């Protein structure tokens, strides 16, 4: 089994994307070493977090799954229960088939 952790910021309207980028910049700025490497300035190119529309998050998770990742620990920088509920409702069903196939 392979596991990884990823920040989760789901957006439902394009107007929310800028706020997601700003949150990621703030998070990276607190991580010191990464901020010193100026990674926070390249946040739009950052592929580590799971951010975007439900379809974008699903696509990113499918990439991780294809690379062998079977478990993901989600970290929501906004501590939003609504965000996690949206993930469960809008993203997790796309992986129900994968889980069923793996169990069988």
* pLDDT at residue 1 greater than cutoff 60: yes
Name the residue ranges covered by the structural domains of the chain: 3-103
pTM here is: 0.61
* pLDDT at residue 73 greater than cutoff 90: no
The strand pairing partners of 10, in sequence order, are: 52
* pLDDT at residue 36 greater than cutoff 80: no
Across 65-100, b (16+ Cβ under 10 Å) vs e yields: eeeeeeebeeebbeeeeebeebbeebbeeeeeeeee
């Amino acid at each position: 089994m392979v596991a990884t952790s990823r920040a989760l910021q789901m957006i439902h309207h394009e107007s929310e994307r800028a706020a997601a980028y700003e949150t990621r910049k703030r998070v990276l700025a607190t991580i010191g070493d990464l901020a010193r490497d100026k990674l926070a300035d390249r946040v739009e190119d950052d592929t580590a977090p799971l951010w975007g529309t439900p379809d974008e998050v699903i696509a990113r998770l499918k990439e991780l799954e294809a690379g062998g990742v079977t478990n993901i620990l989600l970290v929501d920088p906004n501590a939003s229960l609504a965000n996690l509920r949206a993930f469960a409702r809008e993203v997790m069903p796309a992986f129900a088939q994968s889980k069923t196939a793996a169990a069988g």
